[in-house]
Amino acid sequence: MLLSLMHPALRAVRARGDLYFGPSRWPSGQRARWPAAHLFAHWPSGRLAHGTLLHRFQNETVGLWRAAMECGITHNGPLARRRGPRRLALWPNLTRLNRRRMSEKIRNTVVIAVGNQKGGVGKTTNTIQLAGALAERGRRSLIIDLDMTSGATKALRAPTDGWNSSFELLTGAENAEDTIITNEEGEVALPPNIHLVPSSRKLAELDTFLALNPWLIHQDLLIEPINRLRGKYDYVFLDTPPQKTKTTIPALKAADFAVLSAMPDHLAVSALAEALSDIVAAQRHANERLALLGVIVCAVPRPKTRLARELVAYVERTCVDAAGHTLKFSAEISRSVVVQEAQKMGQTILQYQGDHPVADEYRTLAKEFEDRLAAMRQSPPIPLTEEVTHA
């Protein structure tokens, strides 16, 4: 605290009689022992009030804030727009994300790995559109792009180079929070309530990184970063690459649920069978609480072709829970050019053309997704078996 009070930036704040809302780092750059909000209010009486508040004591933060407001302390932050013109001095290094964290509610984060061994089967599209439909339901999602080809990053029009990426997240080179792009950065217009950890070509160096760090356990790379993010999002989607690459395995280890994506195609059935075997292997050897939440069948031509009918029949027959109920989501996503059009604009279909039937299909899917999650949490599913996957 003493350091904070001595810092020139804070002295300037005090001189102006402003409210200071500081980060959890001391000005010296040293990390504070607790993630805390430091509030300094220079009351009109000349008294300096200081509060060190842990994130979770949000009410106290708000309380001190309000008290400062009542004393006529001014700011120009987001509250100003709601409560009239006031002035707030912000710590220069305080990121917008840090500032927002101070007033966040604690969320019950569910981590979903979206996968399929086959490329181009809608993994990325379904991840983004589902996150968009969940956003309409008031949920906040983080998409972590684990694919070196940066499908989700490009679809959301985020930069694939020069920013912290999933490589820094996986290797621990940066704190998980510092790899996240939000709407508030201003440089990337992400859809509302969707945040992104972009991917980069650096992911190709993951093998080398692991070879140089023999004590690190490959499959555990995502555990710590994801644990840091728990509580901040309703959903963390791990958009995995095709094939079992160096990022798919940590994703299946860190996820609570897996969702598979499939498109009618002559190789769809064998690719899905492989993806199911991977989930079984992950359950058996790495993550016994991992459960298959469901299979999204997308890009279904209307009227349905023979291939589409075969895929649907295969999924209904093969992907079943212990009680024999199908895990295929009943909401199927139709093939439509609007999907590509929305992607071209870096938007979700719900933003781009919210009244389109495909937008409604994603809304139905989001509801089914949440209903199923709620049901699965009440009675955890019995792990899949090889027999189930190859029935």
Ligand X SMILES: Nc1ncnc2c1ncn2[C@@H]1O[C@H](COP(=O)(O)OP(=O)(O)OP(=O)(O)O)[C@@H](O)[C@H]1O
Residues forming contacts to Mg ion in the complex (CB under 5 A) are 123-124, 151
Measured from the CB atom, the residue of 114 and 388 that comes closer to ligand X is 114
* E strand map for the chain: 19-22, 36-42, 48-54, 88-90, 110-115, 141-145, 194-197, 235-239, 257-262, 291-297
In this chain, which stretch among 49-57, 200-208, 226-234, 332-340 interacts with ligand X, using CB under 6 A?
332-340
Closer CB to ligand X, residue 269 or residue 339? 339
What is the pattern of x (binds ligand X, CB under 6 A) and - over residues 116-135?
Answer: ---xxxxxxx----------
- Interface with ligand X in residues 34-93 (CB under 6 A): none
Question: Which listed residue (117, 283, 343, 389) binds ligand X by CB under 6 A?
Answer: 343
Q: Minimum distance from CB of 238 to ligand X (Å)?
A: 12
Q: Scanning the structure block, which residue is given the tokens 């499939």?
A: 262
d(CA 313, CA 296): 13
- Report the DSSP beta bridge partners of residue 25: 31
Q: Which residue matches tokens 């690719």?
A: 271
Q: What x-and-dash track marks residues 271-310 binding ligand X by CB under 6 A? A: ---------------------------xx-----------
Q: Which does 247 bind (CB under 5 to 8 A by kind): ligand X, Mg ion, none?
A: none
Handedness of CA 263, 269, 274, 275 (dihedral sign): positive
- For ligand X, the closer of residues 120 and 354 by Cβ is 120
Neighbouring CB atoms inside 10 A of 34's CB total 10
Name the one residue in this structure whose structure tokens are 């002295």.
11
As a three-state string, the secondary structure of 324-341 is: CCECECCCCCECCHHHHH
147 binds ligand X (CB under 6 A): yes
Q: How many whole angstroms separate alpha carbon 264 and alpha carbon 126?
A: 15
In the bound complex, what is the minimum distance in angstroms from residue 386's beta carbon to Mg ion?
27
Q: Which of residues 219-278 bind ligand X (CB under 6 A)?
A: 242
Residues engaged in binding ligand X (CB under 6 A): 119-125, 147, 151, 242, 298-299, 333, 335-336, 339-340, 343
